[in-house]
Amino acid sequence: MATIRGEQGSVQFDAAGATNATIVGTRSWSLTTTKETLDTSVHGDTFRSFVGSMISGSGTVELVYDPDATGQAGFLEDVLTTADPADATFELFTTGSVSGTDSISFAGIITDMEISSNVGDLVVVSCNFITSGTITGNLE
């Protein structure tokens, strides 16, 4: 059994859905996917039955802020896009950064961004997002 350490993960992003670039300074990421269910039980059934329905996702990316780091500015400023068409593309990697390998990819919208600066600490940025459309899992 292989052991995967969090330090092996990374995030790639592109605000316009063109070519993703690695977000330098990624500290952590999380993704939660949810599948709704529909009750298909009928009169006379003794037990309820269900089918899967709509799937959605949301999550967070946390960065150590560096104004010169590749990819950070576009990622952080995407929250300022009004009437966002959800054309930003994300790819979250458990290991490495080879597109389509050990990753989850989707289009999405950054819904909020928080930046904090404390004396004696690193400046840390946290961005929350929601998925829009298909979520593709390439976990191996």
**Is the pLDDT score of 1 beyond 80?**
no
Q: Report the percent of the chain where pLDDT is more than 70.
A: 94
- Sheet-wide strand order for 50-64: 21-22, 10-14, 88-93, 103-116, 124-138, 50-64, 26-39
Residues 6+ apart with CB under 8 A from 137: 104
Q: How far apart are CA 84 and CA 62, in angstroms?
A: 21
**Is the pLDDT score of 53 beyond 60?**
yes
For 27, 46, 93, 97, the CA distances from 22, given in Å and listed in that order, are 13, 52, 10, 8
- Map residue 62 onto helix, strand or coil: strand
For 7, 27, 108, the CA distances from 3, given in Å and listed in that order, are 12, 19, 29
Mean pLDDT, residues 59-66 taken together: 93
Contact yes or no for 109/84 (Cβ under 8 A): yes
Least confident of 9-13, 17-21, 55-59, 101-105: 17-21
- Strands (E) in 4-102, as ranges, are 10-14, 21-22, 26-39, 50-64, 88-93
Q: How far apart are CA 61 and CA 13, in angstroms?
A: 11
Contact yes or no for 79/113 (Cβ under 8 A): yes
Q: How far apart are CA 11 and CA 37, in angstroms?
A: 30
pTM to 2 decimal places: 0.86
Mean pLDDT, residues 21-40 taken together: 93
